[in-house]
């Protein structure tokens, strides 16, 4: 299949691209390199440097993709709070313009990178199933939920098939430890450089950590299969405290770099985990990489870079 992959020079997107190429698919990557890196683009993929807010019509016209795998986004939650209009411009209008071109150029399926924790907001059920109440507490979460609602509209109105993959906290090699980064990347980079890490508040907040290779596999299954249109959680259903995470990384690294505790991060969720039962039942997906093994791979990456 010809797959148009937005954000394919980024952390998750580049892992998806490698897996698609290994399966023999033709991959066309669109990325504006605002956060992605050109060196992440795997050999064998077509690359177009372009902003998704343009709708990328020339790319659709030239390559005639059969599937859109939409990973590109404004992912900085703090920036979304400070600049909600920019967040909406990229994540909502950019997505709508891509979907318009999907209809115009006969794309049959969309796989959309959504968010579990950000869409559900302050959870009342653990782990959260897909029908959990959805009250995002950041413009980023609102924009991802809007993307899902637009997908539903295009499915009903035009028959465009879609799968919205609601990621838990994705971690692994190539994640950027700067900016609005995942805590695994931040801790791993600090340990590799023997810098002191800061844990927000008491460190008792929990997250559902899912390895990037498993997330790439979920995308592959959603692209190659034909599951019913809708949302699918992609996580482990396991809550890990931030303190426990740091202790694991600290022990695995063999470094003498104890962490310090800083002030609470305003608005930070205390607990987060998603239930992947639907993805298991419908897509045949389940997380395969255990946390310790995934952390070892991540540490090796940061030691080497």
Residues marked as catalytic? 140
Rounded Cα distance between 232 and 277, Å, is: 9
Token digits of residue 164: 């919205």
193-198: long-range pairs with CB below 8 Å, 24+: 194/255, 194/257, 195/257, 196/257, 196/258, 196/259, 196/260, 197/246, 197/257, 197/259, 197/260, 198/259, 198/260, 198/261, 198/262
Q: How far is residue 216's CA from residue 224's CA, in Å, rounded to a whole number?
A: 12
Q: How far apart are CA 170 and CA 216, in angstroms?
A: 10
- Of residues 105, 186, 91, the one with CA closest to residue 148: 91
The token pair that represents 103 in the structure block: 């209809």
For residue 68, the SS3 value is strand
Which token pair is 168? 């838990």
How far apart, in whole angstroms, are the C-alpha atoms of residue 96 and residue 146? 10
């Amino acid at each position: 299949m010809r797959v148009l992959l937005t954000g394919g020079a980024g952390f998750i997107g580049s892992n998806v691209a490698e897996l698609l190429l290994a399966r023999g698919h033709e991959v066309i990557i669109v990325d504006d390199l605002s956060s992605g890196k050109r060196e992440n683009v795997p050999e064998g993929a077509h690359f177009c440097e372009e902003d998704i807010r343009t709708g990328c019509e020339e790319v659709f016209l030239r390559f005639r993709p059969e599937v859109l795998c939409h990973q590109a986004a404004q992912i900085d939650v703090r920036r979304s709070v400070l600049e909600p209009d920019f967040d909406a411009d990229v994540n909502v209008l950019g997505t709508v313009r891509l979907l318009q071109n999907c209809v115009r150029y006969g794309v049959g399926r969309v796989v959309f990178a959504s968010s579990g924790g950000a869409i559900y907001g302050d959870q009342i059920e653990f782990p959260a199933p897909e029908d959990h109440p959805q009250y995002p507490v950041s413009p980023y979460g609102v924009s991802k939920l809007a993307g899902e609602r637009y997908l539903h509209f295009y499915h009903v109105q035009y028959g465009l098939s879609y799968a919205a993959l609601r990621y838990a906290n994705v971690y692994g090699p190539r994640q950027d430890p700067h900016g609005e980064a995942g805590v695994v990347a931040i801790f791993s980079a600090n340990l590799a450089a023997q810098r002191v890490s800061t844990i927000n508040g008491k460190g008792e907040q929990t997250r559902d950590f899912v390895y990037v290779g498993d997330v790439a596999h979920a995308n592959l299954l959603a692209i190659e299969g034909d599951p019913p249109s809708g949302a699918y959680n992609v996580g482990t259903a396991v809550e890990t405290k931030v303190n426990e995470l740091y202790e694991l990384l600290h022990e695995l690294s063999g470094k003498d770099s104890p962490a310090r505790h800083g002030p609470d991060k305003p608005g930070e969720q205390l607990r987060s985990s998603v239930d992947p039962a639907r993805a298991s039942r419908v897509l045949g997906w389940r997380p395969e990489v255990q946390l310790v093994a995934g952390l070892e791979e991540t540490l090796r990456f940061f030691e080497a870079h």
